[in-house]
Amino acid sequence: MIAQFGFGVLVVTFLVTLYSVFAAVYGEYKKSPSMVESARRAMLLTWPLLTLTAGVLIYLLVNNHYEVQFVYEVTSRSMPTYLKVTAWWGGQAGSLLFWSWLMSVFASLVTIRKWDRDREFLPWVIVVASITMAFFLGMNIFFENPFAQLYQGFDGVNAHTFQPANSILVTPADGRGLNPLLRHPGMVIHPPMLYLGFVSFVIPYAFALAALITGRTDDRWIRLTRRWALWAWLFLSFGLVLGGRWAYDVLGWGGYWGWDPVEIAAFMPWLTGTAFLHSVMIQEKRGMFKHWNMLLIILTYSLVIFGTFLTRSGVLSSVHAFAQSAIGPLFFAFIGLSLITSVALLIYRWDSLRSETTMTSLLSREALFLLNNLLFMSILVVCFWGVIYPLISELFTGNKITVGPPFYERATGPLFASLMLLMGIAPLSAWGNSTVKTLGRAIWKPAVLAVAITVYTYFTYTQNIIALIGFFLIALVILVTLYEYWRGANARQKGQGENILTAFWNLTGRNRRRYGGYIIHISMMLMAIGILGIEIFQVETQGRVSAGETLSLANYTIEYKEIASWDDNPKGVNFTRAVLDVYENGIYLGQLHPRKDYYFESQQSMTIPGERATLRDDLYVLLVDWEPSTMEGATFKVFVNPLVNWLWLGSLLFLVGIFIAAWPDQDPERVTVRAGRRLPQTSAADD
């Protein structure tokens, strides 16, 4: 009964969403403010309706209603309540509902705020957001119903929305439980972060389409959605980092990124989103490349849907699975239709999107940003091709192939290096024009210092040429960025008489987007240190040892002490945990406890590494195998991952940077009043 109620609310929401599309289009067409207002109210209604639907689903999850197929598949009695709640996005049907719920939240936030100010765009924003939401709700209602229940009929136990004739409701005693790999805290937060990023990008896309439809093709849509795009980027980036950390902690292969198609599905919209965030600045500052910005946001939206399609349609396991899946072809059709419609609108408005100015220098900021866009797009092509090439091969030749890390690393390595070089140069170039002379004057000091650091690295750390190029680029970017900071803070210090810390603080506060962006650049370089470290200098060994025996790698020695295995029946897990003493150059450092957790319900195991983390390296030990009868010997895989913790440190700084860049500006009126009180202060570093 409760499940049917949830489904009923879902259907009502779907109808309300369709109505809001109809009312918005009709209202605009007939110039009827009341109809447009009705569309807005319908859109606003979707949020409480979907919250009610989600509430019903969570109630079923938490209270062990295993007669509901979704609940049966993703929860079990032994799971703690918080995991039962987060199981909402642990399966296909629930995650689609989660998508719709987030969409309703964001669309409502847009239509609640500044309705009068953005009256021109908002009806069309409602149309785009509602169509997207209706698509996902339709998936839930017609193909992936989270409220379908299990019925025993003549043909066995099947899930149905309504009770078929001659069948009885089946309530299993317990559920299958969530995949143990998904019970890690990182994985609990990772999907919502990615979905937040995905769904947030729908809003800038909706405004872009509204601009195309209404013909208001100046940069207003960009100014209105700049922060949406930044927050979307924040969530997507954070989601990717969390996914990396999760992989490092629970997948048991000593790495954080395996160029898996599922990872790439989330990485592709991040690439176009990053290019978009840079490119919109050209339009704001110089009124150029309006077509390109439209195309970028259209691509980002399409890749958001494509990413969901890749992970939800089964196409990655086989093109045939895609053809057999109910939602695969529909996703494909939706992506095609939205892309064709968007590009058709762009072509229709092509003339009104012409640049207002021209390019004056190949070294100007806008020219370098365009180069940056070329590189991001090239990485996108590598990723896209890497994902679809196996599908094309299977479709046309019947042969399945794998495109693994070597392809991606070779193809993207030079592109990432070029991006880093641009990151070092672009902050020093000016909008409109820069010359070799002006740029050279600005860059020579950081460049000389970067060379000195590289030479020092050569003599003290590595002679690997790729690593040295990488370290040079990292040093260059960090030094250029710090130099820019120092110049600004120095100007404030002298002009305003502030101490250096206050000057730094005020400098950042007065131009959050610029200096937040710089912090993001530095954080990216810290992450690059970690990536270089693990990609180039990672070493590993594996071996079987008996009690008292040792394994050595780099400067580390691990001594196997003992192993123990026990069942935790309430949790439904068997733990096997080894105890190892760790030494570095003969000095005792402490103990590590790598373990294997085996989940009875799902019959899956998780390999939890024993880790000793420092900024210099990570000692990462996996329990591979052991002798269950005698417990005397065990096999361990040992990794030393140099510098990898800079990756996680960089990602924390990245969050700081993006919060600074995306933090809302103060109300302009309040700023004006405050500025009036401090009239004499006119330093540029104030801005």
Partner 1 sequence: MINPQPGVATMKRYFFALTLTLVLAGLFAGAVLAQGTTPTDDEVNKVAKQLFCPVCESTPLDVCPTEACRQWRELIREMLADGKSEAEIKQYFVEHFGARVLNEPPNRLASYAVPVVAFLLGAFMLFRGFQMWMKPSKAGTGVPVEEAKPIPQDDYIVRLEEELKKKK
Contact, 275 vs 229, CB < 8 A?
no
Q: How far is the CB of 558 from partner 1 (least distance, A)?
A: 15
**Which CB atom, from 433 or from 591, has the smaller least distance to partner 1?**
433
What is the C-alpha to C-alpha distance for residues 554 and 541, in angstroms, rounded to an integer?
Answer: 10
**Which CB atom, from 336 or from 404, has the smaller least distance to partner 1?**
404
Provide the 3-class DSSP secondary structure of residue 581.
strand
Q: How far is the CB of 280 from partner 1 (least distance, A)?
A: 15
Contact, 684 vs 496, CB < 8 A?
no
Q: How far is the CB of 396 from partner 1 (least distance, A)?
A: 11
Tokens of 563: 């192993």
- Name the one residue in this structure whose structure tokens are 């880790």: 611
Q: Which of 146, 177, 197, 261 binds partner 1 (CB under 8 A)?
A: 261
Inter-axis angle of helices 202-214 and 92-112, nearest 10: 50
**Which CB atom, from 156 or from 628, has the smaller least distance to partner 1?**
628
Contact, 561 vs 624, CB < 8 A?
no
Provide the 3-class DSSP secondary structure of residue 169.
strand
Q: How far is the CB of 44 from partner 1 (least distance, A)?
A: 39
Q: Does 603 bind partner 1 (CB under 8 A)?
A: no
Q: Does 350 bind partner 1 (CB under 8 A)?
A: no
Residue 150 DSSP code: E
| Interactions with partner 1, residue window 108-127 (CB under 8 A) | none
Which sign does the torsion angle of CA 137, 143, 144, 148 carry? positive
**Residue 55, CA atoms < 13 Å, CB-side half-sphere:** 8
Q: Does 377 bind partner 1 (CB under 8 A)?
A: yes
| Interactions with partner 1, residue window 277-316 (CB under 8 A) | 285-286, 316
| Interactions with partner 1, residue window 17-76 (CB under 8 A) | none
Q: How far is the CB of 487 from partner 1 (least distance, A)?
A: 6
**Which CB atom, from 254 or from 328, has the smaller least distance to partner 1?**
254
Contact, 125 vs 23, CB < 8 A?
no
CA separation, residue 284 to residues 21, 273, 293, 559 (Å): 31, 17, 11, 61
Q: Does 153 bind partner 1 (CB under 8 A)?
A: no
Q: Does 216 bind partner 1 (CB under 8 A)?
A: no
| Interactions with partner 1, residue window 411-450 (CB under 8 A) | 411, 415, 430-438
Q: Which of 310, 319, 382, 423 binds partner 1 (CB under 8 A)?
A: 382
* The residue type at 391: L
* The residue type at 173: A
Q: Does 577 bind partner 1 (CB under 8 A)?
A: no
**Which CB atom, from 145 or from 293, has the smaller least distance to partner 1?**
293
**Which CB atom, from 172 or from 633, has the smaller least distance to partner 1?**
633
Q: Which of 453, 495, 589, 600 binds partner 1 (CB under 8 A)?
A: 495
Q: What is the CA radius of gyration of the chain?
A: 28
Long-range own/partner contacts, residues 155-161 (CB < 8 A, 24 or more apart): 159/69, 161/7
**Which CB atom, from 21 or from 282, has the smaller least distance to partner 1?**
282
**Which CB atom, from 117 or from 441, has the smaller least distance to partner 1?**
441
| Interactions with partner 1, residue window 500-529 (CB under 8 A) | 511, 514
Taking residues 524 to 563 in sequence order and writing x for each that binds partner 1 by CB under 8 A, - otherwise, the string is ----------------xxxxx-------------------
What is the C-alpha to C-alpha distance for residues 254 and 251, in angstroms, rounded to an integer?
Answer: 8
Q: Which of 116, 165, 173, 399 binds partner 1 (CB under 8 A)?
A: 399
Q: How far is the CB of 412 from partner 1 (least distance, A)?
A: 9
Sole window of 100-108, 241-249, 355-363, 660-668 interacting with partner 1 (rule: CB under 8 A):
355-363
Q: How far is the CB of 609 from partner 1 (least distance, A)?
A: 12
| Interactions with partner 1, residue window 625-664 (CB under 8 A) | 625, 635, 637
Tokens of 662: 């995306």
Q: Which of 169, 333, 337, 362 binds partner 1 (CB under 8 A)?
A: 362
Q: How far is the CB of 62 from partner 1 (least distance, A)?
A: 31
Which sign does the torsion angle of CA 113, 115, 121, 124 carry? positive
What is the C-alpha to C-alpha distance for residues 60 and 48, in angstroms, rounded to an integer?
Answer: 18
Q: Does 358 bind partner 1 (CB under 8 A)?
A: yes
Tokens of 113: 């705020």
Sole window of 18-26, 75-83, 157-165, 398-406 interacting with partner 1 (rule: CB under 8 A):
398-406
| Interactions with partner 1, residue window 217-256 (CB under 8 A) | 251-254
Work out the end-to-end distance of the chain between its first and last CA atoms, rounded to an integer number of angstroms.
60
Contact, 520 vs 528, CB < 8 A?
no
Q: Does 486 bind partner 1 (CB under 8 A)?
A: no
Q: Does 578 bind partner 1 (CB under 8 A)?
A: no
What is the C-alpha to C-alpha distance for residues 260 and 426, in angstroms, rounded to an integer?
Answer: 32
DSSP string, 247-311: HHHHS-SS-S----HHHHHHHHHHHHHHHHHHHHHHHHHH---HHHHHHHHHHHHHHHHHHHHHH
What is the C-alpha to C-alpha distance for residues 383 and 268, in angstroms, rounded to an integer?
Answer: 7
Total binding residues for partner 1 by CB under 8 A? 74
Q: How far is the CB of 219 from partner 1 (least distance, A)?
A: 13
Q: Which of 378, 464, 550, 555 binds partner 1 (CB under 8 A)?
A: 378
Q: How far is the CB of 605 from partner 1 (least distance, A)?
A: 6
Q: How far is the CB of 543 from partner 1 (least distance, A)?
A: 6
3-state secondary structure 606-624: EEECEEEECCCEEEEEEEE
Q: How far is the CB of 6 from partner 1 (least distance, A)?
A: 32
Q: How far is the CB of 357 from partner 1 (least distance, A)?
A: 8
Q: How far is the CB of 153 from partner 1 (least distance, A)?
A: 33
**Which CB atom, from 363 or from 592, has the smaller least distance to partner 1?**
363
Q: Does 684 bind partner 1 (CB under 8 A)?
A: yes
Inter-axis angle of helices 185-200 and 92-112, nearest 10: 50
What is the C-alpha to C-alpha distance for residues 507 and 6, in angstroms, rounded to an integer?
Answer: 52
Inter-axis angle of helices 512-537 and 645-662, nearest 10: 170
Q: How far is the CB of 569 from partner 1 (least distance, A)?
A: 23
Q: Which of 26, 143, 407, 416 binds partner 1 (CB under 8 A)?
A: 407
Q: Does 361 bind partner 1 (CB under 8 A)?
A: yes
